[in-house]
Amino acid sequence: MTSPLLTLRFHLLRPYPLAPTPLGPRISRVGSLVISPVTLQALSAPRKLSQSTGRAFPLPTKSVKGPVHDRRAQLLAHRIPAEREIDLKQIMDDLRDLELLDVLSKVSPKSGSGYKDATRALYPLFYQAQGKDAKCTFAELQKALPPLYGLAWLAISDRLLSGSIPKLQELSETDKAALRFLQIYNIGPARALDFAYAGCRSFEDLLKWPEDQKPKLAHAHKVGLKHREDINRLIPREEMDALKEALQEAVYAANFDFECEILGSYRRGVPFSNDVDLAIWHKSFDGSKERDALGKELLESVVQKLEERGLVEKENELARGVKKYAGLVRLPGSSHYGRIDVRLAPYLSYPYMLLGSTGDSLLMKLLRYTAKQKGWCLNEYGMGDKYDAVDQNPNGFRPNTFKVVTSERKIFELLELPYLSPTERNFRFWGPKYLREVTNPKLRDFVAKL
């Protein structure tokens, strides 16, 4: 009789490409399936049978959502005592490396429940556990990371049951070095591999890399290398609150007619943020090419005030253009930096930038889909009639069709969707709400599949 393990769907376990890649050997194939040998061995070990099926591992349904994830979590709980001490730092490093392996392998991340999302979900626990040598119990780990993060839990299962992650353990030294270099700001897969193939294996090797030798390290790479730990950490909300106050004071000191807002996950009320996304706008700037000189002057006045107040430093500048500045920011007296983007928005685009840069990503996916159904194109600069397929700019909207709005609420009204306040724009809240309240069957189906 065929083992129920062999009936597991491919995408339930290992969603990695099967074609040969430069990343070394892949995991084992069983029929049309790909299963990690270590995971197969661990799952095949003796365990308590499921009361509902009488099998050692429950057969999945057509969907990989709730029930399957819950049953998988229950099986793992049978194997690991709730009080077992877990090295949370190792778990966080594993999830980071698996996320970067996706980048290196050019695998699209799973939206909403991938490795990066799991890392964010675990970060509050990790932040608290840093005072305890980054250790936690298995019960605390389960409470912090819901079963729906299936990919992450498969990796965690490998680590806890066998002591390693097969996909990471099997990588060559070159590929491991490339993963390491992807931790550096603005270094992508191609450049990371270039340095690895050139013989670099550590961050120290990059620090010693000759400036006149290819591949080259740009100034932004050097800043990212020096401050990689600060750039990769998440910023706690109390620090974001203090930064918001200091940044707003500097912006208003540059020009009292400026308006500004901190966007991203901070505006959604999330306890930790990846970086500081500061949007500024001025009634005199409309975003047109004719106003580029004015835009550059306005942005320069803000950056100058930030430098005067010790919030940013010239040596840590990452990029600067007409409408955007990127660098590192820190509170005076603080030992920690965070990454900051300062963006100058066209004045009439203000509500659209607030909406688009607040997120979350799944909500914006739904809103863009809804706009498309109405024949419009929505982005962070506005909304208007979409281009036809034959036009050169399919991602923009036609000139003179811009829909002027005075608030984010008006955008929701145009799209005929229930309004969501910024703190309601996390999928766990708005997903169930829209499934209850949205009457359009196409939109309900779209939400159900997110």
Say whether both 90 and 35 belong to one domain: yes
> Both 28 and 9 in a single domain?
yes
**CATH code for the domain in which residue 435 is found:** 3.30.210.10
Same domain for 140 and 254: no
pTM for this predicted structure: 0.80
Name residue, tokens 């050997």: 25
Given 302, 324, 345, which residue is the final one in a domain? 345
Pick the last residue of a domain from 302, 327, 345: 345
Question: Which pLDDT score, from 0 to 100, does residue 406 have?
Answer: 94
Same domain (yes/no): 37, 143:
yes
Predicted local distance difference test score (pLDDT) of residue 39: 46
Tell me which residue of 107, 123, 450 sits closest to 270, measured CA to CA.
123
Which stretches does DSSP call E strand in 175-322?
A: 235-236, 259-262, 272-273, 276-281, 312-320
How high is the pLDDT of residue 449? 86
Residue 105 sits at the vertex; the CA angle it makes with 104 and 109, to the nearest 5 degrees, is: 90
Which residues fall within 8 angstroms of residue 273, CB to CB, at 6 or more apart? 234, 235, 237, 240, 264, 265, 266
Cβ count near 20 (within 10 Å): 9
Residue with the two structure tokens 């980054």: 134
Pick the last residue of a domain from 303, 327, 345.
345
The maximal CA–CA distance of the chain, rounded, in angstroms, is 76
* CATH code for the domain in which residue 341 is found: 3.30.460.10
Residue that has been written with the tokens 């050139």 in this structure: 198
Are 209 and 200 contacting, i.e. CB atoms less than 8 angstroms apart?
yes
Task: Answer yes or no: do 32 and 79 share one domain.
Answer: yes
* Total domain count, the chain: 4
Residues 299, 207 within the same domain: no
CA-closest candidate to residue 11, choices 36, 42, 33, 26: 33
Residues 215 and 273 in one domain: no
The verdict on 152 and 212 lying in the same domain is: no
**The pLDDT of residue 67:** 58
Cα 262 from Cα 175, distance rounded (Å) = 37
Q: Which residue from 43, 5, 25 is spatially nearest to 157, judged by alpha carbons? A: 43
pLDDT (0 to 100) of residue 46:
41
- Within this chain, do residues 49 and 187 fall inside the same structural domain, yes or no? no
The region that residue 213 occupies, defined by phi over 0 for left and psi between -120 and 50 for alpha, beta otherwise, is beta
Give me the pLDDT at residue 71, please: 81
- CATH code of the domain covering residue 206: 1.10.150.20
Q: What is the pLDDT along the chain (450 residues), one digit of tens a residue?
A: 444 433 333 333 444 343 344 444 444 443 333 444 444 444 444 433 333 333 333 333 334 344 577 788 888 888 999 999 999 999 999 999 999 999 999 998 877 789 999 999 999 999 999 877 899 999 999 999 998 899 999 999 999 999 999 999 999 999 999 999 999 999 999 999 999 999 999 999 999 999 888 999 999 999 999 999 999 999 999 999 999 999 999 999 999 899 999 999 999 999 999 999 999 999 999 888 888 899 999 999 999 999 999 999 999 999 999 899 999 999 999 999 999 999 999 999 999 999 999 999 899 999 999 999 999 999 999 999 988 766 656 567 888 899 999 999 999 999 999 999 999 999 889 999 999 999 999 999 999 888
Domain that holds residue 207: 173-226
